Chains A and B, each alone.
Chain A
Amino acid sequence: EDKVVQSPLSLVVHEGDTVTLNCSYEVTNFRSLLWYKQEKKAPTFLFMLTSSGIEKKSGRLSSILDKKELFSILNITATQTGDSAVYLCAVGGSQGNLIFGKGTKLSVKP
């Protein structure tokens, strides 16, 4: 059965810290891996990764995929309270659906 596992499930840090969120997967017919941020409502798209070793960056956030070891990491540097959210990792399956992990709840304290 396809699965996506995220760790840690929750994390509490202080502003200015750097965090690394992990996502491993076992999915037949892997297509892409995506990261989403979910605050109170709908998940909002962060990154889509298709190729190994190519880092994607957006401001203080960056992510990389390792297709050989079947995992991805999401890094957030110089965290701010506005980064507090649940971060979801999802893998695209062969039927076009996204298979989600259970998320990492990040709390950034001032």
Chain B
Amino acid sequence: DTAVSQTPKYLVTQMGNDKSIKCEQNLGHDTMYWYKQDSKKFLKIMFSYNNKELIINETVPNRFSPKSPDKAHLNLHINSLELGDSAVYFCASSLMTGYYGYTFGSGTRLTVV
């Protein structure tokens, strides 16, 4: 009965490919996030959505496009993958925007070769 689930857990792909990561939460939370954790373990916000509406769009390449079909789902599509995109991507959710009690998913380790 996972609260925030991400798929896939691991993704190995070649440069130039397009890939998607899916995230679903069953907590009834209104806000969802994508964070990127680099090789030095630094976690940085990429996007946040509140009830399907984009709230935060940090300075990320426009090859990254989030999509939220409903408030329980937030997917991340990445076009033309580059070596530097290799990282762990975490999805998280919180009750509402401004409520910091996040629940994190277990992460997707993306390796671009």
Contacts and interface: CB of A to CB of B under 8 A. Distances in A.
A86 B41 contact: yes
Interface residues of A, number: 23
Contacts of A45: 101-102
A96 B56 contact: yes
B69 to A, nearest CB: 21
B107 A42 contact: yes
A33 to B, nearest CB: 9
27 contacts: A31-B98, A31-B100, A34-B100, A38-B41, A42-B90, A42-B104, A42-B105, A43-B104, A45-B101, A90-B43, A90-B100, A92-B100, A95-B48, A95-B56, A96-B48, A96-B55, A96-B56, A96-B94, A96-B97, A96-B98, A97-B56, A98-B43, A98-B45, A98-B100, A100-B42, A102-B40, A102-B42
Interface of A: 31-32, 34, 38, 41-45, 48, 86, 88, 90, 92, 95-100, 102-103, 105
Interface of B: 31, 33, 40-45, 48, 50, 55-56, 90, 94, 96-102, 104-107
